[in-house]
Amino acid sequence: MNNKKEKNGISSISKTTNFIFNVLLFILSISCIIPFLFVFIISITSEASIANFGYQFIPNEFSLEAYRFLWQEKDMILNSLGVSILITVVGTLLGLVLSTTMGYVLSRREYKLQSFFTWVVFIPMIFNGGMVASYVINANVLHLRNTLWALILPLMVSSFNVIICKTFFKTIVPNSIVESAKIDGANQLHIFTRIVLPIAKPLLATISLFLSFGFWNDWFLASLYITKQDLLPLQALLNNIQRNIEFLATNPSAGLTLQQYANQMPTEGVRMAIAVVIVVPIALAYPFFQKYFVSGLTIGAVKG
């Protein structure tokens, strides 16, 4: 009996349990995919079909009017897409550099101010100055209004990411490796770039994914700091389009031209098409991080 346990391993599970786990994971996967498919199907459903029969997985009439409407606004959308890509790439790279360097410094026990700066990083996770204070600092003190930095700097570093980096480096990079490199004459920058980072690919992928999702999906900062049309990111622009659609569709006192425009507009389909346009680009980026993502989260969250 003991030999059988040693052969199978203490943590081995039965085929029945394994089957149940696979079924549960399959159900969870389907529950994540179906809502997006439903949104896409609604986006290619005609407005008349939605009005007469409601939302359906198999619509009575297909239509690409929602995407034709967005295509008519392609100049604005492409400009905003470029802004979103720019702030996502620049913000992710800068955030990755700052988060990893701060995490590495805080993971070294010989750093004299380790305890102090650990509290400096940790306290903002619990308490913050509030939105009004942030707005005053960013708009009136730093003068970031109507600049791309207003969309990058506030999201660039988070305490959560720094603590993940600190735990990862403390767990994976033993002091013996650092001390050996010091004996060989390497400075801290050389140790970090040549020794630490090459073994931190799971961490880099995880933090990059968090940052890129945050920058790509953010529209709130643009609503606070951006009034110039050519600086609006994609999410803020599409949010404005959706709000204008709702206004035109529900305001009976609008002028004749506006009301005619609203009547010709596929309002429900456009809302769903906007969601598709926002989700697809960032969803396509996820597979490039996937193989490192789980290991990065697991290692960075466990203290050894």
pLDDT of 260 above 70? no
Q: What is the pLDDT of residue 304?
A: 41
In this structure, how many other beta carbons lie within 10 angstroms of the beta carbon of residue 124? 14
pTM: 0.75
Q: What pLDDT shows up at residue 291? A: 64
d(CA 233, CA 68): 21
Q: What is the distance of C-alpha 87 from the center of its chain? A: 12
Contacts of 76 (CB under 8 A, 6+ apart): 229, 237
Cβ-based burial of 228 (10 A; exposed 0-12, middle 13-18, buried ≥19): exposed
Residue 215 binned pLDDT confidence (cut-offs 50, 70, 90): very high
260 or 277, which is more confident = 277
User: 3-state DSSP call for residue 63?
Assistant: coil
In contact, 51 and 273? CB cutoff 8 Å: no
Q: Which residues pair with 45 in a beta bridge?
A: 62
- Non-local (6+) Cβ contacts of 171 within 8 A are 299, 300, 302, 303, 304
Assess contact for 277 and 39: CB atoms under 8 A.
no
Greatest pairwise CA separation for the chain in angstroms: 85
300 C-beta neighbours (distance < 10 Å), count: 24
Average pLDDT of span 133-139:
87
Model pLDDT for residues 139-173, shown as the tens digit of each residue: 888 888 899 999 999 999 888 889 888 888 888 87
Nearest Cα to Cα of residue 282 among 228, 226, 224, 211: 211
- Alpha helix stretches (DSSP H) within the chain: 2-8, 15-43, 47-53, 65-72, 74-107, 114-126, 131-135, 149-156, 159-172, 175-183, 188-191, 201-217, 220-225, 234-250, 256-264, 267-301
The secondary structure of 157-179 as a DSSP string is: --HHHHHHHHHHHHHHS-HHHHH
Over range 213-222, report the average pLDDT.
89
Give the pLDDT band of residue 7 (cuts 50, 70, 90). very low
Which residues, listed in sequence order, are joined to residue 62 by a DSSP beta bridge? 45
**Cα gap 101→241, rounded to integer Å:** 40
- Segment 50-63 shows an average pLDDT of 79
256 vs 221, higher pLDDT: 221
